[in-house]
Protein backbone atom coordinates (compact mmCIF):
# COMPACT_ATOMS: atom_id res chain seq x y z
CA UNK A 1 0.00 0.00 0.00
CA UNK A 2 1.21 3.49 -0.80
CA UNK A 3 2.17 5.79 2.05
CA UNK A 4 0.41 9.03 2.88
CA UNK A 5 2.93 11.63 4.07
CA UNK A 6 1.37 14.62 5.82
CA UNK A 7 4.01 17.35 5.94
CA UNK A 8 3.03 19.41 8.95
CA UNK A 9 6.10 21.60 9.30
CA UNK A 10 5.14 24.86 11.09
CA UNK A 11 6.28 27.07 8.17
CA UNK A 12 4.13 25.09 5.76
CA UNK A 13 1.09 25.13 8.04
CA UNK A 14 1.46 28.91 8.56
CA UNK A 15 1.67 29.61 4.83
CA UNK A 16 -1.17 27.20 4.01
CA UNK A 17 -3.48 28.97 6.45
CA UNK A 18 -2.86 32.28 4.67
CA UNK A 19 -3.58 30.60 1.35
CA UNK A 20 -6.87 29.17 2.61
CA UNK A 21 -8.22 32.58 3.68
CA UNK A 22 -10.68 34.03 1.18
CA UNK A 23 -9.05 37.43 1.78
CA UNK A 24 -5.80 36.27 0.10
CA UNK A 25 -5.50 37.47 -3.50
CA UNK A 26 -3.91 35.75 -6.51
CA UNK A 27 -0.47 37.35 -6.20
CA UNK A 28 0.04 36.21 -2.60
CA UNK A 29 -1.65 32.86 -3.29
CA UNK A 30 0.79 32.12 -6.12
CA UNK A 31 3.85 33.19 -4.12
CA UNK A 32 2.84 31.09 -1.12
CA UNK A 33 2.16 28.05 -3.30
CA UNK A 34 5.63 28.40 -4.84
CA UNK A 35 7.25 28.69 -1.39
CA UNK A 36 5.34 25.73 0.07
CA UNK A 37 6.18 23.61 -2.97
CA UNK A 38 9.88 24.20 -2.44
CA UNK A 39 9.59 23.34 1.25
CA UNK A 40 7.55 20.19 0.53
CA UNK A 41 10.21 19.24 -2.00
CA UNK A 42 12.57 18.46 0.86
CA UNK A 43 10.28 15.66 2.06
CA UNK A 44 9.34 14.44 -1.41
CA UNK A 45 13.05 13.91 -2.18
CA UNK A 46 14.06 12.63 1.27
CA UNK A 47 14.67 9.04 0.07
CA UNK A 48 16.92 10.03 -2.85
CA UNK A 49 20.13 7.98 -2.47
CA UNK A 50 23.52 9.65 -2.04
CA UNK A 51 26.94 8.58 -3.23
CA UNK A 52 30.25 9.54 -1.70
CA UNK A 53 32.38 11.93 -3.76
CA UNK A 54 35.90 13.13 -3.07
CA UNK A 55 36.40 16.91 -3.23
CA UNK A 56 39.00 19.32 -2.01
CA UNK A 57 38.04 22.23 0.22
CA UNK A 58 40.49 25.17 0.48
CA UNK A 59 41.78 23.33 3.56
CA UNK A 60 42.05 19.65 2.66
CA UNK A 61 40.55 16.68 0.83
CA UNK A 62 37.27 15.27 2.07
CA UNK A 63 34.52 12.85 1.13
CA UNK A 64 31.26 14.67 0.52
CA UNK A 65 27.94 13.50 -0.95
CA UNK A 66 26.07 13.91 -4.16
CA UNK A 67 22.72 12.62 -5.28
CA UNK A 68 23.24 9.28 -7.00
CA UNK A 69 22.30 9.67 -10.68
CA UNK A 70 18.66 10.39 -9.91
CA UNK A 71 16.84 11.79 -12.91
CA UNK A 72 13.65 13.64 -12.03
CA UNK A 73 10.63 14.88 -13.97
CA UNK A 74 8.10 17.28 -12.50
CA UNK A 75 4.68 16.73 -14.09
CA UNK A 76 2.00 19.30 -13.26
CA UNK A 77 -1.67 18.54 -13.89
CA UNK A 78 -2.94 21.64 -15.71
CA UNK A 79 -3.85 24.17 -14.73
CA UNK A 80 -3.38 24.35 -10.98
CA UNK A 81 -0.40 21.98 -10.80
CA UNK A 82 1.62 24.60 -12.68
CA UNK A 83 1.68 26.67 -9.50
CA UNK A 84 3.88 24.05 -7.81
CA UNK A 85 6.50 23.68 -10.56
CA UNK A 86 8.75 26.70 -9.92
CA UNK A 87 9.21 25.86 -6.24
CA UNK A 88 10.31 22.32 -7.09
CA UNK A 89 12.63 23.53 -9.86
CA UNK A 90 14.31 25.87 -7.38
CA UNK A 91 15.20 22.75 -5.43
CA UNK A 92 15.90 20.45 -8.43
CA UNK A 93 17.02 22.78 -11.23
CA UNK A 94 18.03 19.90 -13.56
CA UNK A 95 14.58 18.29 -13.47
CA UNK A 96 12.66 18.12 -16.75
CA UNK A 97 9.01 19.11 -16.93
CA UNK A 98 6.12 17.23 -18.55
CA UNK A 99 2.53 18.50 -18.74
CA UNK A 100 -0.80 16.71 -18.43
CA UNK A 101 -3.96 18.65 -19.31
CA UNK A 102 -7.09 17.55 -17.41
CA UNK A 103 -10.09 19.46 -16.19
CA UNK A 104 -12.93 18.22 -14.05
CA UNK A 105 -16.33 18.28 -15.74
CA UNK A 106 -18.67 20.33 -13.51
CA UNK A 107 -21.62 17.94 -14.03
CA UNK A 108 -20.06 14.48 -14.00
CA UNK A 109 -17.04 15.49 -11.83
CA UNK A 110 -14.98 13.17 -13.98
CA UNK A 111 -11.66 14.36 -15.44
CA UNK A 112 -11.60 15.35 -19.13
CA UNK A 113 -8.24 14.82 -20.83
CA UNK A 114 -6.86 17.41 -23.29
CA UNK A 115 -3.04 17.52 -23.31
CA UNK A 116 -0.01 15.27 -22.76
CA UNK A 117 3.62 16.18 -23.43
CA UNK A 118 6.50 14.40 -21.66
CA UNK A 119 10.28 14.42 -21.81
CA UNK A 120 11.46 11.65 -24.20
CA UNK A 121 13.11 9.64 -21.43
CA UNK A 122 10.21 9.98 -18.97
CA UNK A 123 10.20 6.22 -18.17
CA UNK A 124 13.77 6.50 -16.79
CA UNK A 125 12.85 9.31 -14.39
CA UNK A 126 11.44 9.62 -10.91
CA UNK A 127 8.20 11.46 -11.62
CA UNK A 128 6.75 14.00 -9.19
CA UNK A 129 3.15 14.71 -10.23
CA UNK A 130 1.94 18.06 -8.87
CA UNK A 131 -1.63 19.24 -8.25
CA UNK A 132 -2.67 21.33 -5.23
CA UNK A 133 -6.05 19.60 -4.83
CA UNK A 134 -6.74 15.86 -4.37
CA UNK A 135 -10.55 15.85 -4.17
CA UNK A 136 -12.25 12.73 -5.58
CA UNK A 137 -8.83 11.59 -6.80
CA UNK A 138 -10.11 11.14 -10.37
CA UNK A 139 -7.71 13.63 -11.99
CA UNK A 140 -4.58 12.39 -10.22
CA UNK A 141 -5.53 8.77 -10.83
CA UNK A 142 -6.07 9.31 -14.60
CA UNK A 143 -2.84 11.30 -14.88
CA UNK A 144 -0.86 8.53 -13.19
CA UNK A 145 -2.48 5.85 -15.37
CA UNK A 146 -1.29 7.72 -18.48
CA UNK A 147 2.22 8.02 -17.06
CA UNK A 148 2.30 4.29 -16.37
CA UNK A 149 1.17 3.66 -19.97
CA UNK A 150 4.39 5.51 -20.99
CA UNK A 151 6.45 3.09 -18.88
CA UNK A 152 6.90 5.20 -15.73
CA UNK A 153 7.50 3.00 -12.70
CA UNK A 154 8.58 5.49 -10.04
CA UNK A 155 5.83 8.03 -9.45
CA UNK A 156 4.89 10.13 -6.42
CA UNK A 157 2.11 12.71 -6.03
CA UNK A 158 2.65 16.06 -4.36
CA UNK A 159 -0.50 17.96 -3.46
CA UNK A 160 -1.35 20.68 -0.99
CA UNK A 161 -4.75 19.71 0.37
CA UNK A 162 -6.21 16.20 0.19
CA UNK A 163 -9.67 14.83 0.99
CA UNK A 164 -9.92 11.40 2.64
CA UNK A 165 -12.08 10.27 -0.29
CA UNK A 166 -9.35 11.18 -2.79
CA UNK A 167 -6.60 9.53 -0.77
CA UNK A 168 -8.62 6.30 -0.58
CA UNK A 169 -9.43 6.31 -4.30
CA UNK A 170 -5.84 6.99 -5.32
CA UNK A 171 -4.39 4.37 -2.99
CA UNK A 172 -6.82 1.82 -4.37
CA UNK A 173 -6.06 2.67 -8.02
CA UNK A 174 -2.29 3.12 -7.56
CA UNK A 175 -1.04 1.34 -4.43
CA UNK A 176 2.57 1.94 -5.53
CA UNK A 177 2.30 5.75 -5.56
CA UNK A 178 3.14 7.65 -2.38
CA UNK A 179 1.11 10.78 -1.64
CA UNK A 180 2.65 13.89 -0.08
CA UNK A 181 0.26 16.55 1.21
CA UNK A 182 0.38 19.54 3.55
CA UNK A 183 -3.08 18.73 4.91
CA UNK A 184 -5.61 15.92 5.10
CA UNK A 185 -8.89 17.85 5.23
CA UNK A 186 -12.29 16.71 6.52
CA UNK A 187 -14.38 15.70 3.53
CA UNK A 188 -15.89 16.63 0.17
CA UNK A 189 -19.06 18.72 -0.13
CA UNK A 190 -21.96 17.80 -2.43
CA UNK A 191 -20.15 19.45 -5.37
CA UNK A 192 -17.00 17.40 -4.66
CA UNK A 193 -15.10 20.44 -3.36
CA UNK A 194 -12.79 19.92 -0.39
CA UNK A 195 -13.94 21.17 3.05
CA UNK A 196 -12.54 23.32 4.52
CA UNK A 197 -10.18 23.37 1.52
CA UNK A 198 -9.24 26.60 -0.18
CA UNK A 199 -11.80 26.86 -2.97
CA UNK A 200 -10.92 26.42 -6.63
CA UNK A 201 -7.13 26.32 -6.81
CA UNK A 202 -6.87 27.08 -10.54
CA UNK A 203 -9.15 30.10 -10.28
CA UNK A 204 -7.26 31.42 -7.27
CA UNK A 205 -3.85 31.01 -8.93
CA UNK A 206 -4.86 32.54 -12.25
CA UNK A 207 -7.55 34.99 -11.07
CA UNK A 208 -10.19 33.53 -13.35
CA UNK A 209 -13.12 33.99 -10.95
Give the DSSP per-residue string, 142-209.
HHHHHHHHTT---EEEE-SEE-HHHHHHHHHH-TT-EEEESEE-SEE-TTS-EESS-S-HHHHHHT--
What CA–CA distance (Å, rounded) separates 92 from 75?
13
Angle between helix axes 26-44 and 10-20 (nearest 10 degrees) is 150
Phi, psi torsion values for 10, nearest 5 degrees = -55, -40
Which option in ligand PRP, ligand URA, none does residue 137 bind, with CB closer than 5 to 8 A by kind?
ligand PRP
**How near is the Cβ of 161 to ligand URA at its closest, in Å?**
7
Examine residue 201 and tell whether it contacts ligand URA (CB under 6 A).
Answer: yes
When the beta carbons of 72 and 140 are compared against ligand PRP, the nearer one is: 140
Examine residue 202 and tell whether it contacts ligand PRP (CB under 6 A).
Answer: yes
105 in catalytic set: no
Binding mask 103-122 vs ligand PRP (x if CB under 6 A, - otherwise)? xx------x-----------
Q: Is residue 137 helix, strand or coil? A: coil
When the beta carbons of 105 and 121 are compared against ligand PRP, the nearer one is: 105
By CB under 6 A, name the one of 97, 133, 148, 153 that touches ligand URA. Answer: 133
Cβ neighbours around 166 below 10 Å, total: 28
Q: Give the total of residues touching ligand URA (CB under 6 A).
A: 8
Examine residue 193 and tell whether it contacts ligand URA (CB under 6 A).
Answer: yes
With a CB cutoff of 8 Å and minimum separation 6, the contacts of 62 are: 54, 55, 56
Which option in ligand PRP, ligand URA, none does residue 134 bind, with CB closer than 5 to 8 A by kind?
ligand PRP
Q: Answer for the pair 14, 186: CB distance below 8 angstroms, yes or no.
A: no
178 in catalytic set: no
With a CB cutoff of 8 Å and minimum separation 6, the contacts of 136 are: 109, 163, 165, 166, 169, 188, 192
Which option in ligand PRP, ligand URA, none does residue 98 bind, with CB closer than 5 to 8 A by kind?
none
**How near is the Cβ of 205 to ligand PRP at its closest, in Å?**
8
**How near is the Cβ of 199 to ligand PRP at its closest, in Å?**
10
203 in catalytic set: yes
In the complex, the residues that contact ligand URA under the rule CB under 6 A are: 133, 135, 193-194, 197, 200-202
Residues catalogued as catalytic: 104, 108, 200, 203
Residues forming the site for ligand PRP (CB under 6 A): 77-80, 103-104, 111, 131-140, 166, 192, 200-202
Amino acid sequence: MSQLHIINHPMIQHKLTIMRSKETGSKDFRELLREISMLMGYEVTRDFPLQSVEIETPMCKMNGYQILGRKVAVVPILRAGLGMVDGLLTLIPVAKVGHIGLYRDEETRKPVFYYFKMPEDIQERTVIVTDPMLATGGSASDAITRLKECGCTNIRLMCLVAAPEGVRALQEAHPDVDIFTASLDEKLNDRAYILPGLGDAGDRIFGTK
